[in-house]
Amino acid sequence: MSKDALLLIGGGGHAVVVAEAALAAGLALAGFLDDDDRAPLGRDLAGRVERLGGLSMFDRPDLVGEHPVILAVGDLPLRRRLLEGHAFKAGAVVHPSAVVSASARIGAGVFIGPGAVVHAQATVADHAIINTGAVVEHHCRVGVNTHLAPNATLGGEARVGDDCLIGLGASVLPGVRLGDRCTVGAGSAVIREVPAGAAVAGVPALEITGHGTPGA
């Protein structure tokens, strides 16, 4: 197995999407780790990627020391725990149908899905997910481990902190800032600054409490 082959952490729905994108981009897959030996990835891409074992293997030097790794689970707190609990060299996956400006800065371990667009001078920090059809306009910043769910859109010069979830089809208006660990409900329109740790939803988006995660 080539040393460039990618090791996926997780074997659920998001991992299937990441693995297919990696293959479409011409990357080789070393395998995946998931505690569930019936995780969907092994079934959905049978013959193209195999489960190597559970997450306890994440520290094995013959795997993590040899291969670039991508976190391929969607849950942000779990991704953060994996990130902080392990030392690894991260590999990015960009689907060939995504459009990424030559002037954009793309961090380590980033996933950019089918049809996503990252425009001029934007920064996508390490381990962010720019999911299917999401748009990151010019001069935006997407923080570490932040997830733009499918069809979420950031207007020009918007800034989103670390560990945020911008839900399905949500929009952030140009220049608007969100602190770390924010959640934006699906379909919302964020028109003003959101403080760190807040959950907002609606059009225009207002702060909500006691609703858990409004969804990606």
Q: Which residues are catalytic?
A: 138
Contact flag: residue 163 with ligand JB3 (CB under 6 A): no
Look at the alpha carbons of 138, 106, 193, 205 in this order and tell me if their dihedral is positive or negative: positive
Residue 12 found at the interface with ligand JB3 (CB under 6 A):
yes
Told to check if 15 binds ligand JB3 by CB under 6 A, we report yes
For β-strands 206-207 and 199-201, DSSP reports them as antiparallel
Burial 152-185 (b: 16+ CB within 10 A, else e): bbbbbbbbbbbbbbbbbbbbbbeebbbbbbbbbb
Shortest gap between Cβ of 29 and ligand JB3 (angstroms)? Answer: 16
Per-residue contact flags (x/-) with ligand JB3 for residues 76 to 95, judged by CB under 6 A: --x-----------------
| Contact mark string toward ligand JB3, 42..61, x via CB under 6 A | -------------x------
**With binding defined as CB under 6 A, does residue 133 bind ligand JB3?**
no
CB atoms within 10 A of CB 195: 14
The closest of 45, 40, 39 to 20, measured between CA atoms, is 45
Which residue ranges make up the site for ligand JB3 (CB under 6 A)? 10-15, 34-36, 39, 55, 73-75, 78, 131, 150, 216
